[in-house]
Amino acid sequence: MAGLSAAVGALAVATALAVGVSAVGAASVRSARAAGAADAAALAAADAASGAVSGVPCERADQVARAAGADLAACELDELIVTVRVRVGAGPFAAEARARAGPPPGS
């Protein structure tokens, strides 16, 4: 019986570790997706703000964020500089990222 108890305990510990590692991995993937979506959305909005492409900057950012599987949480336009914040996932498992795009300072 002692061997069975030890085996069950070892299995429980292994299962708990596997669940923990999976959660960390999923959070890492969500974070990377959010960062990529924020970068793409900010660049698309900056292109629209500069006139390189047609459209309203924050609407462009929303379109690109949704195409990347994210929700646009905020979009701020300061002349040609656009700052966006996107969210991937929901609740306590959501990941947020922020990105900024526009011409370099002094140009």
Q: What percent of the chain has pLDDT over 70?
A: 91
Quick check: is 71 in a domain?
Answer: yes
Quick check: is 106 in a domain?
Answer: no
* pLDDT tens figures, 63-99: 999 999 999 999 999 989 999 999 998 877 789 999 9
pTM score, whole prediction: 0.78
Which pLDDT band, with edges at 50, 70 and 90, does 6 fall under? confident
- Count structural domains, the chain: 1
Quick check: is 18 in a domain?
Answer: yes
Quick check: is 36 in a domain?
Answer: yes
Quick check: is 25 in a domain?
Answer: yes
Query: Which residue range is the domain that position 70 belongs to?
Result: 2-101
pLDDT at 27 over 80: no
Which pLDDT band, with edges at 50, 70 and 90, does 23 fall under? low
In order, the DSSP letters of 30-94 are HHHHHHHHHHHHHHHHHHHHHTSS-S-HHHHHHHHHHHTT-EEEEEEEETTEEEEEEEES-GGG-
